[in-house]
Amino acid sequence: MDDLYNYLDSDFDPDYKSETQPEQNPAQPDASAAGPAGNADAVAASDAEAPAADASPSADPIGQKPVKSGKIKPLNAYEVSTLCEQLAILFHTGITPRESMEILIKDSHKKEEAALFQQMLDALNSGAPLHTAMEQTGVFPPYVVRLCAVGTETGKLDIVMQSLADYYEEEYNLRENLKSAVSYPLVMVAMMAVVIIVLLSRVLPVFEQVFEQLGASMDGFAGTLLHAGRIISNYTAVIGVIFAVILAVFLYFYLTSSGQRAFGKLAQRFPLTRGFTERLAVSRFASALQLTQSSGLDTYASLDLCADLVGNDHIRERVLECKKQIAEGQSFSEALSKAGIFPDFYSSMIDIGARTGNLDRVMNFIGKRFKQDTDASIERVVGSIEPTLVIILSVAVGLILLSVILPLMGIMSSIG
């Protein structure tokens, strides 16, 4: 296990965030990581498909730069979850990684998937263990590769794959909910802006002609709106450019991994979203810790992996502080309490779980509880935004129309 811990402590991507899905952009290794890239002698020896010669360090190219195929894109959370689920089923029935790849190649309906599985099969045939085959493709998140190495070492590869499938399925669902919570209000605001601009620049001039034919003019609030409409008409090109820039920024934040990271950083600092992002990070930490514990990795080594998955700098600092407290001799529950990651109620539960050997079960409960709270928060926000925007749009349109209809009715009644 010492070789495995050296591997886990080395060459791990400190800037890897789960928000970077669907695209992975590995950053530079953490300068604080200690130890050599390490070998995986025990891992290669325990792989049923690896020949005896693989026990040498040179046979397991851990730490080498992944070889990326130009035709294979990094896997997103949904694809990782699906593949891990398939591998978990195959491994549970006793099928080896090499045979599993052969089955997946035969059942694959996409050329890109078949190419990925063939690349992994070639690595397995050369004597590399499964986690090395994953790493060499360059399309798997580092977290999956590391946990796969742990599962191979501990003989729990099927359990690890199932846990990874569940974890990334939750990540995918959560990300989709967050996208809906962000994109829906923006679309509504854009529709409101278009409706109001059309009213000011196209509808009000029609009413102005009616007033002129009746020998009156639009004054007061209606005149102000008419003037605003003329300005909009005169600067249509400028407004179009502004809308195009806003759309480009939205697509950048929505579609690109760098944009998602930038949006996440902004959300961490914005007062209205800071608390929500921290709760989301704590939920990720609990789920990741449950996964590492069920995989057979000890608590101290688990914190290295979990710290890089929370997606929040503030919570990451607390996780590293927890690791420091443990290194100084504190128990895990005491370190969590001092770091302030969980409320005191959950810290006491963790203490009981650690004493009874059920820490993974406790972390699973905490992760689900935080996930439920996060989902409820998203639903409340989305549920309150829709009627609020509808009310604002209705009031704005009503004021614009009433500002011209009421004076027009007064003129018509005086004529009659």
Going by C-alpha positions, the residue among 157, 159, 106 that lies closest to residue 133 is: 157
Residue 185 token pair: 């209000």
Summarize pLDDT for 43-64 with one digit per residue, the tens. 333 343 333 333 333 333 333 3
> Residue 279 corresponds to which tokens in the numbers above?
């709760």
**pLDDT tens-digit readout, 271-286:** 777 777 888 888 888 8
Confidence of residue 384 (pLDDT cuts 50, 70, 90): confident
Ramachandran region of residue 27, left (φ > 0), alpha (ψ -120 to 50) or beta? beta
**Structure confidence by residue, pLDDT tens digits, 213-271:** 777 777 778 788 888 888 888 888 888 898 889 888 888 877 777 777 787 778 778 77
* Choice between 151 and 100, residue whose per-residue pLDDT is larger: 100
Asked whether the beta carbons of 33 and 9 are under 8 A apart, the reply is yes
Phi (first) and psi of residue 321, to 5 degrees: -65, -40
| Residue of 232, 239, 209, 221 whose CA lies nearest to 396 | 221
Contact status, residue 119 vs residue 75, Cβ threshold 8 Å: no
Q: What is the pLDDT of residue 40?
A: 35
Among 370, 14, 371, CA closest to 175: 371
* Residue pair 404/210 in contact by the 8 Å Cβ criterion: no
Taking the CA atoms of residue 251, residue 253, residue 255 and residue 259 in that order, the dihedral angle to the nearest 10 degrees is: 130
Confidence of residue 407 (pLDDT cuts 50, 70, 90): confident
Residue with tokens 């710290």: 307
The answer, yes or no, to whether residue 11 has pLDDT greater than 60, is no
pLDDT tens profile 318-333: 888 888 888 888 887 7
Please, where are the H alpha helices in 47-156?
Answer: 77-92, 97-107, 111-125, 130-137, 142-154
Nearest Cα neighbor of 54 from 112, 150, 127 is: 127
pLDDT score for 365 = 85
**DSSP, residue by residue, 338-394:** HHTSS-HHHHHHHHHHHHHT-HHHHHHHHHHHHHHHHHHHHHHHHHHHHHHHHHHHH
Residue 35 backbone phi and psi in degrees, to 5: 90, 160
Label residues 107-143 b or e (16+ Cβ within 10 Å = b): eeeeeebebbbbbbbebbeebbbbbbbbbbbbbbbbb
- Portion of the chain with pLDDT greater than 70, in percent: 82
| Residue at 75: amino acid letter | L
- Mean pLDDT for the chain overall: 75
Would you say 133 and 152 are in contact if contact means Cβ atoms under 8 Å apart?
Answer: no
pLDDT in tens, 350-369: 888 878 878 778 888 887 88
Helix axes 271-294, 257-269, angle to 10 degrees: 120
- pLDDT category at 194 given cuts 50, 70, 90 is confident
Q: What is the pLDDT of residues 22-37, one digit of tens each?
A: 333 333 334 333 333 3
Residue located via tokens 């003019």:
217
Q: 313-327 and 299-307 helices cross at what angle (nearest 10)?
A: 160
> Residue 366: what pLDDT?
83
CA-based torsion, 32, 161, 282, 263: positive or negative: positive
**CA-CA distance, 382 to 394, in Å (whole number)?**
19
pLDDT score, position 285: 84
What is the rounded end-to-end Cα distance, in angstroms, of the chain?
A: 96
Whether 345 has a pLDDT exceeding 80, the answer reads: no
C-beta of residue 277 within 8 angstroms of C-beta of residue 316: no
Confidence check: pLDDT of 112 > 80:
yes
